Structure 1
Amino acid sequence: MKLYYSPGACSLSPHIALEEAGLQYEAISAPTKTKVLPDGSDFRKVNPLGYVPYLVLDDGTGLREGPAIVQYIADQAPDKKLAPPNGSLARYQLQSWLNFIGTEVHKSFSPLFAPGTSDDAKQAAKDRILGRLTWVDGELAGRQYLMGDDFSVADGYLFTVTNWAKPTGLDISGLKNLAAYRERVAARPAVQAAMKAEGLL
């Protein structure tokens, strides 16, 4: 498998999932700004949409969108329990978390990275994100991870997007459960390995 990623972007989530799963893969840097791959070719020839993450399977099939990619990865290593079994209520709860993180948190950061966003629009985005993460903070009370005691691919995703708080000036220091949770996730060897590979440590 080949994972196309951009350092620190949302592609860190499947990068963490691959490390947690212990699968063989090649990580290829595909910078979001330049779209130029290490061999000098245009990333858009691989993924016409030009964004990461993008996973290419051994047979050449491409898979896009982080929440789909991380579930695929989890299903390749069921013994690692990165996702509950397909068809179970717990699996739908995992998908609920992945959708929530993707639509309510991840996409809400977009105005903070877009050049030309007004200060008012940036503040509105920060208020929205903080409101969503305050709810998450409450959900984490008494839990090790989003799904309970077991780390799942949703945790890698939430960790990835909450990493963007500091560079965008979003103060989440008051969310104590989330802070402790982020420390737990950051300490995992697979998370350390993925971040080191992306030059984030």
Structure 2
Amino acid sequence: MILYYHAGACSLAVHIALIEARLACKLVSINRDKRTDDGRDFIAINPRGFVPTLELDDRTVLTENLAILAYIAHQSSTLLPAEGITRWRALEATSFMTTELHGNFKPFFYSDATQAEKDKARQRLAKHFASLADQLGDKPFLLGERMTIADPYLFVMLMWAYRHGIEISQRLRAYFARMKELPSVAQALAEEGLA
């Protein structure tokens, strides 16, 4: 498999999940000009032009974090329970993060965003993070004692929150610190030059 990624982007969640699931992959970095680190046109690989993009061994290309994370869980029989409500809560939480959290960071990624747009996004993000802090409670991972596909994504969203001055609770700060110490997270951060 090949993971096309941009350092520190949402593709980091897939990178962490691949390591956690012990699935081997080659890493190929994508720059802002949509070129691979070896000079290829990324749009020829993924016409949508977004990371993460996962190219399977048969050259099939998967896109979108939720789909890729669910694929990794299915291939490895880890990160997503086979049945029960925790499976659905993991998909629910990951979907919430891909839409409500990730989407609300948009003003911070565009230079033409106004301060009013950024302030409104900060308010929404703080509200959404507070909801996830309540869901986390005193558990080590968002949904219990074991990591699910929701945890790598939440880690990335918290990393962005720190970068952009979004208010997060002490509970989420402690969770972020614990996640950062996990071998899979530390390895992914190091491999992306973020350690």
Deviation, structure 1 residue 34: 1.3
**Residue pairs, 1:46-195, within 5 angstroms:** 46-78=45-77, 81-85=78-82, 87-172=83-168, 175-195=169-189
**Matching residue of 2:193:** 199
Does the 8 Å contact 1:113/1:168 carry over to 2?
no
Secondary structure at 1:144 match in 2: coil
**TM-score relative to the length of structure 2:** 0.96
Query: Which amino acid is 1:82 matched to?
Result: L
User: How many residue pairs are counted as aligned between the two chains?
Assistant: 195
Tell me the distance in 1 between the aligned counterparts of 2:185 and 2:93. Answer: 19
Does the 8 Å contact 2:136/2:143 carry over to 1?
no
**Structure 2 residue 19 is matched with structure 1 residue 19:** yes
**Matching residue of 1:28:** 28
**Matching residue of 1:37:** 36
Does the 8 Å contact 1:35/1:42 carry over to 2?
yes
Query: Which amino acid is 2:183 matched to?
Result: P
**TM-score relative to the length of structure 1:** 0.94
Secondary structure at 1:163 match in 2: helix
Give the alignment's Cα RMSD to 1 decimal: 1.1
After the TM superposition, which segments of 4 or more aligned residues of structure 1 sit over 3 Å from their partners?
Answer: none
Does the 8 Å contact 1:143/1:149 carry over to 2?
yes
The answer to which of 135-144 and 5-14 deviates more is 135-144
Does the 8 Å contact 1:2/1:26 carry over to 2?
yes
Query: Which amino acid is 1:4 matched to?
Result: Y
Identity of matched residues, %: 38
Deviation, structure 1 residue 167: 2.2
Deviation, structure 1 residue 21: 0.7
1:66-101 CA-to-partner distances (Å, cap 9, x unmatched) read: 0110111111111xx31111x533221111011111
Deviation, structure 1 residue 140: 1.6
Does the 8 Å contact 1:4/1:27 carry over to 2?
yes
Does the 8 Å contact 1:111/1:125 carry over to 2?
yes
Secondary structure at 2:4 match in 1: strand
Deviation, structure 1 residue 166: 2.4
Does the 8 Å contact 1:3/1:27 carry over to 2?
yes
Secondary structure at 1:95 match in 2: helix
